[in-house]
Amino acid sequence: MSTLIFFFLTLKLPVLLCKLVFPGCPVSWTDYVCQDGDMMISAFLPLYTYQNSQHSEGPQDTKFQQRINANNYQFAIALIFAIEEINRNTLLLPNVSLGYCIHTAGPYEEQTSFSFLFWLTGLDRLIPNYTCRREEKYIGAITGTTWEISSLIGTYLRLYNYPQLAFGTFEPNLNDPVKFPSLYQMATKESSLVLGMVSLMVYFRWNWVGLIISEDEKGVQFVSELILELERNSVCVAFMEMLPVMNVHYIVDPNIIQNRIEASTAKVIICYGDTESSVGIIFRMWEHVLPWRTWVTTSKWEVFTAMKHLFLDSFHGTLIFSQHHGEIPTFKYFVKKVSPSRYPEDIFLARLWEIYFNCPLLPASCTLVENCSYTGSLEWLPWYHFDSAMSDGSYHVYNAVYAVAHTLHKVLMQQVDMQVVKNGGRMKFPPWKLNHILKNIQFTNPSGDAVNLHPSEKLHVEYDILNFWNFPQGLGYKVKVGTFSPFYPPGQQLSLSEDKIKWSTGVRETPISVCSESCVPGFRKSFREGKAVCCFDCSLCPENEISNETGKYMEQCVKCPDDQYANTEQTHCLQKAVTFLSYENPLGITLASMALASSTLTGLILVVFVKHQNTPVVKANNRTLSYILLISLIFCFLCSLLFIGQPNTTTCILQQITFGVIFTVAVSTVLAKTITVVLAFKITMPGRRMRGLLKSGTPKCIIPICTIIQIIICGIWLGTSPPYVDTDAHSEHGQIIILCNKGSVTAFYCVLGYLWALSMGSFTVAFLARNLPDTFNEAKYLTFSMLVFCSVWVTFLPVYHSAKGKVMVAVEVFSILASSIGLLGCIFIPKCYIILMRPDKNSLKVMRDRVRLK
């Protein structure tokens, strides 16, 4: 083991000695690199970034150090690559070479202003509106990546109408033609980014998402549009963290953010912010694995490329929205050749070699020592330090160089309002004259993409959806898994290849990010008071309502049509069976049997009365009225059969009319019998003149008179609102009952009321004559029969109203039978008993003996 340690230290000794002898070159905001040419393009790039110091005691005391950012240096590579490509092109700018000058731009105004004024004046002493540069060959400035950098530089350049091309994300504030008359944005407006992200949420049915947004103007605008679109698509925000703009002296405690993420049940988090924003810095400060979530972000948020190499990376499976652009295959080959040996004057490239390849810089000249510049290549760096694939920002830098080249070419070829003067072999050209062509320039770049700088034509853009894969040993790359195009109709804008997507570590299937699981069929959402609409409980659908889908649409159950009913699981509507009180039904059979048996019994009693019509019992109670009553009772029993069987218009009319008229005959007959008893008693008393009324048959006239009144009532009923066939789809589950509707309920109750009046009249008269001293006096039986009759129909009303469907019909039939049996039993059964069982009491001799005894 000691030998191995000694061998290792021996190998590292030259490097350690180099660092002791040459402590390195200090970072300065005046660092720059230039390559001469007939025309020069200036670039202000954020090559230095802040990283937290290892000696920070906490977030309140966080210290940062400036360091070259390898991924941001790709902007410089894209600039150099485009210029060299144009210089080799014999068709574009022939006999004119392009050069460049790259300066640094910091995340704060102080650094950016210092670097810009150094370029503008050409002096270490910053003198505004004064320059020591005698060459007038600078024709444009490329700035980025943040709008703060572009707006700050644009404020100075507007004084000279100097063409400025911003390659950062599209910023509406930079489109002000008064404030920035010569500023052009290479990026397209992110108007469809919000729609694309929300479409992704809807596609995977994620309705519970977290938001981590940089609290700058761009972030506030983005989150305001995002929340509106989320609400329109029923996606809820689980939590939202707005991180303040970066401050090197203070930054939010990253543990607070991590605890917020861990406490939330949201498995999907949308991140929006630049890598150099406070969002990116906080994520780089994490010392351990983040809670595994599915991150949805943009290509400008490259924070995972700055993370340390982790065996289980928390950003594995991230979905990235990247503006679609064509591939430039020669770019990666160019990256391989970039080294300090090829560009020895590039201080930024030398600093990269110092950091990643242990090549120290000489403090005096800031150049690499010995032959260090010949070792190493940027493509050797792990993905989390440098990604050789062209980023969106680099692509915009590439297009910006070509835009300037095409504009200059057009001016030179057309010779429009320009004076070209050769001075010492160099060309002088006023850059402000490029603006009138540059703002309308249109061309196709070498990758085949159309490029234009007019703001009105840069409203929408297609997005590639990339999936970030990170595996052990630093093998990380992005895979295109889908696209989003706002130019397609809704529903077809998002295209995904789910089989290519790798989710976060430990997740094998599509993650579920919902506050509440979707309700299964048969249930509906019950929202929780005070909670988001995505948080709900599932309640069983009410009776005869269904829900047959799973998802956000089942907020309410759907009621089945009247001719259908819900199954047991309440997921489908089934066709109801059509039914009625039929003879096949047990209840119908019972009632029909009772009606036939009762009518048969009544007929037998009639036969007995006719056979014994000359006996005292039959003669004493007016046998004619007895015959009428018995015949009406037979019809009363038989009319109940009209209520059984499938109803039709005829049976519906006959049911109520027959019932009303026949029962009127029966009750009026009882009334006539009662009056007959009273008159018979009165004529036996001395001085009475009632015999003529009794002999003339006056009591029998009551029957037709009362019946005619009932017929008139029924006629009015038929003339106004007669009964008709109706259906009842609600009384019995799963059945549609065919029954007769009364039509006019008022007329129906008038019929019953009239019967009630006749019954009460008969009951009153019979009750008063119940104790008259007469042989075979049936007043008591008539009183009891009317008491039973009235009791049945008084009970009928509440029971009838509470019943439904076939039961309601059965109640009416049962009341008809019960009241008829009451009349038959109370009036005629006692007489049949005497006639058949006690004939000894049915004689005149017994009658005289009783009268004599009385």
pLDDT block averages, 10 residues each, the chain of length 854: 36 37 59 88 85 48 65 92 94 90 80 78 60 69 84 85 88 84 86 90 92 83 91 91 65 69 87 65 54 80 50 72 86 90 87 84 67 77 78 91 92 60 52 86 88 71 85 69 90 90 81 86 84 86 82 72 86 86 87 91 89 78 83 90 88 87 88 74 53 54 87 90 85 82 88 87 76 60 82 83 82 88 85 80 57 45
- Strands, E assignment, 505-586: 523-527, 536-540, 545-546, 558-559, 564-566, 573-575, 577-579
Are 742 and 721 spatial neighbours (Cβ–Cβ below 8 Å)? no
Q: What are the Cα distances from residue 197, in Å, to 520, 531, 764, 794? A: 27, 24, 88, 72
Q: Do residues 316 and 405 both lie within one domain?
A: no
Measured CA to CA, the distance from residue 156 to residue 107 in angstroms comes to 17
Across-strand partners of 261?
none
Q: Which contacts (CB < 8 Å, 24+ apart) does range 614-619 have?
A: 615/835, 615/842, 616/775, 616/776, 616/842, 616/843, 616/844, 616/847, 617/776, 617/831, 617/834, 617/835, 617/842, 618/831, 618/835
Q: Which contacts (CB < 8 Å, 24+ apart) does range 359-368 have?
A: 360/18, 360/19, 360/22, 360/23, 360/24, 361/22, 361/24, 361/25, 362/22, 362/25, 363/22, 363/23, 363/24, 363/25, 363/26, 366/25, 368/340
Measured CA to CA, the distance from residue 139 to residue 431 in angstroms comes to 5
Q: Which of 55, 157, 82, 147 is nearest to 109 (CA)?
A: 147
Measured CA to CA, the distance from residue 221 to residue 193 in angstroms comes to 12
Q: What are the Cα distances from residue 467, in Å, to 84, 196, 277, 471? A: 32, 15, 22, 13
Which CATH number belongs to the domain containing residue 680 in this structure? Answer: 1.20.1070.10
pLDDT of residue 684: 52
Measured CA to CA, the distance from residue 609 to residue 611 in angstroms comes to 5
Q: Do residues 680 and 564 both lie within one domain?
A: no
Q: 513 in a domain, yes or no?
A: no
Are 236 and 535 spatial neighbours (Cβ–Cβ below 8 Å)? yes
Q: Do residues 320 and 294 both lie within one domain?
A: yes
Tell whether omega for the bond before 145 is within 30 degrees of 0, i.e. cis.
Answer: yes
Q: Do residues 376 and 420 both lie within one domain?
A: yes
Q: 835 in a domain, yes or no?
A: yes
pLDDT of residue 11: 34
Measured CA to CA, the distance from residue 163 to residue 187 in angstroms comes to 16
Are 464 and 483 spatial neighbours (Cβ–Cβ below 8 Å)? yes
Can you say how many angstroms the Cα of residue 795 is from the centroid of all Cα atoms in its chain?
54
Q: Where are the alpha helices (DSSP H) in 525-622?
A: 586-611, 616-620
In angstroms, the first-to-last Cα distance of the chain is 145
Q: 35 in a domain, yes or no?
A: yes
Other beta carbons within 10 angstroms of residue 191's beta carbon come to 14
Measured CA to CA, the distance from residue 355 to residue 51 in angstroms comes to 14
Measured CA to CA, the distance from residue 447 to residue 326 in angstroms comes to 5
Are 92 and 33 spatial neighbours (Cβ–Cβ below 8 Å)? no
Q: Do residues 116 and 156 both lie within one domain?
A: yes
Q: What are the Cα distances from residue 52, in Å, to 55, 73, 295, 691? A: 9, 20, 24, 131
Which CATH number belongs to the domain containing residue 35 in this structure? Answer: 3.40.50.2300
What amino acid occupies position 149? I
Q: 20 in a domain, yes or no?
A: no
Q: Do residues 657 and 772 both lie within one domain?
A: yes
What amino acid occupies position 125? R
Q: What is the DSSP string of 71-131?
A: TTHHHHHHHHHHHHHHHH-SSSSTT--EEEEEEE--SSHHHHHHHHHHHHHSSSS--TT--
What burial letters (b/e) apply to 377-409, b meaning 16+ CB within 10 Å? ebeebebbbbbbebbbbbbbbbbbbbbbbbbbb
Q: Which two tokens stand for residue 406?
A: 């095409």
Q: Do residues 547 and 608 both lie within one domain?
A: no
- Residue 815: strand, helix, or coil: helix
Among residues 575, 606, 636, the one where a domain terminates is 575
Q: Of how many residues is the chain composed? A: 854
Q: What share of the chain is helix, strand, coil (3-state, %, to 5)?
A: 45, 15, 40
Q: Which two tokens stand for residue 230?
A: 């989320």
Q: Which of 393, 373, 193, 361 is nearest to 276 (CA)?
A: 393
Among residues 429, 452, 475, the one where a domain terminates is 452
Q: Which pTM value belongs to this model?
A: 0.65
Q: Structural domain tally of the chain?
A: 4
**In this structure, are strands 577-579 and 724-728 parallel, antiparallel, or unpaired?**
unpaired
Measured CA to CA, the distance from residue 551 to residue 538 in angstroms comes to 12
Can you say how many angstroms the Cα of residue 556 is from the centroid of all Cα atoms in its chain?
12
Q: What is the DSSP string of 598-634?
A: HHHHHHHHHHHHHHTTTSHHHHHT-HHHHHHHHHHHH
Q: Do residues 381 and 261 both lie within one domain?
A: no
Q: 716 in a domain, yes or no?
A: yes
Q: Do residues 342 and 407 both lie within one domain?
A: yes
Q: 750 in a domain, yes or no?
A: yes
Q: 580 in a domain, yes or no?
A: no
Q: Which of 810, 812, 807 is nearest to 795 (CA)?
A: 812
**Which residues touch 742 (CB under 8 Å, ≥6 apart)?**
656, 723, 748
The single residue listed with the structure tokens 């005292």 is: 616
**Which residues touch 52 (CB under 8 Å, ≥6 apart)?**
62, 63, 64, 281, 284, 285
Q: Do residues 601 and 680 both lie within one domain?
A: yes
Measured CA to CA, the distance from residue 222 to residue 170 in angstroms comes to 12
Domain of 569 in residue numbering reads as 523-575
What amino acid occupies position 664? T
Q: Do residues 65 and 180 both lie within one domain?
A: yes
Q: Do residues 313 and 363 both lie within one domain?
A: no
Q: 1 in a domain, yes or no?
A: no
**In this structure, are strands 268-272 and 421-423 parallel, antiparallel, or unpaired?**
unpaired
